[in-house]
Amino acid sequence: MELFGLPALELIYILTGIILIIVSVLSFMDTTNSKRFGTGLFWLIYGISFIFGKYIPDEINGWMVIALAVIVATKQLGKGTYNESSMEMKQSESKRIGNAIFVPALLVGVVTFIIGIFTKLGALVGLGIAAIVALLLAFGLTRVSIHQGFNEGRRLIDAIGWTAILSQLLAALGYVFGLAGVGQVIASGISSIIPVDNIFAVVATYCLGMAIFTIVMGNAFAAFAMMTTGIGIPMLIQMHGANPAYIGPIAMLAGYCGTLVTPMAANFNIVPTALLEMKDQYGVIKAQWPVAMALLVVNILIMYYLVIS
C-alpha cells in the first residue's frame, strides 16, 4: 500500500532517516561533546542507510556498517548538552500534566493495534504512524518547542548509543545463518551426540539450544528458525509426532529465557539501564536470571509432557 506515492513502509524508513540526520546535525553542532564528530558521523551514516539503503550498492552498505563498527570500537560516541529544563520546572510540569503524560506512550500500542488489525498497512507501518500521533500529542501536552523535542530525542538516543542498531544487526545475522544452512549443521551435530529416540533428551536439547542461541544472538526469532529447522521439525514433529502448535510457542518461550540473561538483547537489558542511569550496567540481567532459569526448566517439562501425551 502506498502513501504519498511511496510504499508506506519505505516512507516510514525515510522519516526515520530524516530524524536521525537531524540528530546528527545537532550532534555536530554540540561543542560541549568532546566526541561530537564521531557521534554526528555515526547517526549520519545510520540515517543515510534508512533513506537510501535500498538504492546504495550492497558493498557500499557493507562499508557503512564497518564504518559504524569502527566508530564504536574507537569509542568515538559521546554525550553533550541537551538544553534540559531545570529540576524545578520539571517538577512543576509534572504536577500540571499529571498522569496524562502516559497517554502518548499508551497511544502507541493502541494505534498500532488498530492499524495492524483493521487496515492493510501492517503493524510495522502502524507503529510508525502511531509514533507520529503520539509525538504530536506529547508536544500538545508538554508545550515544548520542536527544537527541544529533537534535543530530548538526541539525549535518549545518545544514552542508548550503538545498541540502538543492535536489533537490525542481529536480524541480519540470523538471516545469514539461515542462508548458510546452520540449521542442518545443528541437526547433524545433535543427532551424533544425543540419542534421538530419547524424547526427553531431544526436548531438553531443543529448549536449551533455543536459550543458548538466543543468548548468543540476542534474538529468539533468529534462534527459532535454526533450532526448529535442525531439531524441532525433523526430530520432534516428524520422528516423534509432536504437535507443532504446542512445541512452537513453548520453544519461543525457551528462547525468551535466553533473552532475559543476555546483553545482546540490548533493547530489554541494556537500554533500560542506560535510560534509568543505573550504576550496574548488568543490573537488569542479574535481577532476571533466577526467573529465566526456572522458566527454562518449566518449559522443558511442559514440552516433554505435551510430546509424550
**Chain segment 19-67, per-residue pLDDT in tens:** 999 999 999 999 999 999 999 999 999 999 999 988 899 899 889 989 9
Task: Give pLDDT, residue 145.
Answer: 84
- Residue 9 · residue 122 · CB < 8 Å: yes
Please state, in angstroms and as integers, the Cα–Cα distance from residue 309 to each residue in 119, 128, 249, 263, 304, following that order: 40, 44, 17, 37, 9
Could you tell me which of 154, 183, 145, 195 has the C-alpha nearest to residue 44?
Answer: 154
Residue 257 has pLDDT above 90, yes or no: yes
Task: Give pLDDT, residue 3.
Answer: 58
Confidence of residue 192 (pLDDT cuts 50, 70, 90): confident
- Residue 252 · residue 222 · CB < 8 Å: no
Question: Residue 203 carries which side chain, given as an amino acid letter?
Answer: V
Residue 249 has pLDDT above 80, yes or no: yes
Cell digits of residue 92: 512543576
Q: How far apart are CA 167 and CA 83, in angstroms?
A: 29
